[in-house]
């Protein structure tokens, strides 16, 4: 099972493995923060796509399509399989610093992980 949460939230007993999936490390969070088990930045959208999207709600649908296309790249196959294995083994919580949780890339990534 894959969940999505903000990186600033307190770890809960239902969180399982908590993995940051942002390209950039969030401000105000120490690198050794116990709320984060791993950082899989390679699964984040490319800088170009992230910049184009700019967290604009009117671009989210197109962003989702483009991001899913990025995730299909052969270079990401191993990273995606690692995420899928983690989700099969227990709860995987994808962390992001995004404020607008309804339009975050982590939702798209969670859907892609859980589909396969």
Predicted confidence (pLDDT) per residue in 6-29, tens digit: 999 999 999 999 999 999 999 999
Domain residue ranges in the chain: 2-115
Report the distance separating Cα 17 and Cα 55, nearest Å: 26
* pTM value > 0.85: yes
- Enumerate residues 6+ apart whose C-beta is below 8 A from 49: 63, 66, 67, 70
Report the distance separating Cα 32 and Cα 66, nearest Å: 32
Bridge partner residues of 93 (DSSP): 3, 18
Residue with tokens 């950082």: 39
Is residue 90 within 8 A of residue 16, CB to CB? The reply is yes
Predicted confidence (pLDDT) per residue in 36-54, tens digit: 999 999 999 999 999 999 9
């Amino acid at each position: 099972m894959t969940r999505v949460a903000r990186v600033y939230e307190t770890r809960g007993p239902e969180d399982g493995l908590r993995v940051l999936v942002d390209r950039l490390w969030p401000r105000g969070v120490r690198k050794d923060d116990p709320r984060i088990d791993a950082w899989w930045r390679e699964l984040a959208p490319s800088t170009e796509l992230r910049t184009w999207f700019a967290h604009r709600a009117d671009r989210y649908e197109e962003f989702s399509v483009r991001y899913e296309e990025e995730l299909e790249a052969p270079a990401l196959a191993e990273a995606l399989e690692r995420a899928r294995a983690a989700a099969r083994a227990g709860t995987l919580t994808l962390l992001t610093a995004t404020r607008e949780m309804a339009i975050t890339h982590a939702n798209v990534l969670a859907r892609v992980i859980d589909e396969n």
